[in-house]
Amino acid sequence: MKKTYARLADGREIIYFDESDDARRRLLDSRDLVSTAPASEIRFDPLRREWVAMAAHRQGRTHLPPADDCPLCPSDADRRSEIPSDSYDVVTFENRFPSLAFDPGAGEGVTDELSSRQPGAGRCEVLCFSSEHDASFVDLSPSRVRTVVEAWSDRTQALSGMPHVEQVFCFENRGQEIGVTLHHPHGQIYAYPFITPRTQRELDSAHRHRERTRRNLFADVLAAEQRDEVRVVRRTEHWTAFVPAAARWPLEVHLYPNRHVPDLPALTDAERDDFCHVYLDVLGRMDAVFGQRVPYVSAWHQAPVRFQRDLSYLHLELFSIRRAAGKLKYLAGSEAAMGVFVNDVLPETTAHRLREAV
């Protein structure tokens, strides 16, 4: 794989990940862009003990543009996009409208028991999986998925070394129903200046489990699913895909490496190769359940940069809000207000449907 670094017209970094060492990319961004330093802020909620990002500059971000004005398509002679080159395999660049933005001169913030505020000192990147506007991740070849895995791993390692970054999160949202504002096949990478609430809660559970059993909680969950088998969708030498016993979403699959590793950079070549086939298979099965492309969120859960890494266990959580053909699951009163999910579909039923889907 060949990596090529460049800068966009306003100073943001862009990196091409090419499958051929002979690839040549146009690096000059000829657009007339004003260099800006978006100022995000994080505020601490003392009731939930969670950080919330404030990013007012995102109100003006691009929203569902027509295909001929897509900012993620390659540039051509008539139109310049966020990607200066006229072609690419996989490319990542700093988001023009980031939820978090590193600004070393933003100061120290205000620390107070009830109203702590800090600069949103993180980083947000856009990761484009293909130059084909109408493609989806499930349409990618295993070799292209392998390039994406390399990009995820590379950016995880690089962003983990940045000041203030505590956790790196690679994810993809697909489908307008899920909130996607650009149809081009892409994901995002967030480098948070804190450990996310979901991760912290899981680590607390893993710590208590370790104190009681001297074992890893995630590994024990995986082993239990493998023994039970009823919710396993696909199992290979290196990966197991299963519907969790307490699934919150009507379509939900977790993918675990069979070996305990903390993050993407820790995967071996064999594990990365195997993941490509397993993941494409699971994505295809999810679409086949209802005979249509389902909206989904695909989220990598990785160890924090420097905290309780031994308790963590790399895994991917994939879920859809589609509960039936033509029907979506909305987060209503119980879920949105109280955090108590109600699933209309038994996980065992979902796993059976996915195994039978072709």
Query: What is the set of active-site residues?
Result: 186
Count other C-beta atoms under 10 Å from residue 172's C-beta. 21
Tokens of 249: 């979403």
Tokens of 215: 């074992």
Coarse DSSP helix, strand, coil percentages of the chain, rounded to the nearest 5 percent: 30, 25, 45
How far is 49 from 310, CA to CA, in rounded Å?
24
Closest CA to 125 of 85, 173, 159, 164: 159
Phi-psi map region of 273: left, alpha, beta (phi>0 left; psi -120 to 50 alpha): alpha
Assign 356 to helix, strand or coil: helix
Using the structure block, give the residue that is written with the tokens 């969950």. Answer: 221
Cβ–Cβ under 8 Å, residues 210 and 217: yes
Tokens of 92: 């990542």
How far is 161 from 312, CA to CA, in rounded Å?
19
Vertex 22 angle, CA 16 and 26, to 5°: 45
Phi-psi map region of 221: left, alpha, beta (phi>0 left; psi -120 to 50 alpha): alpha
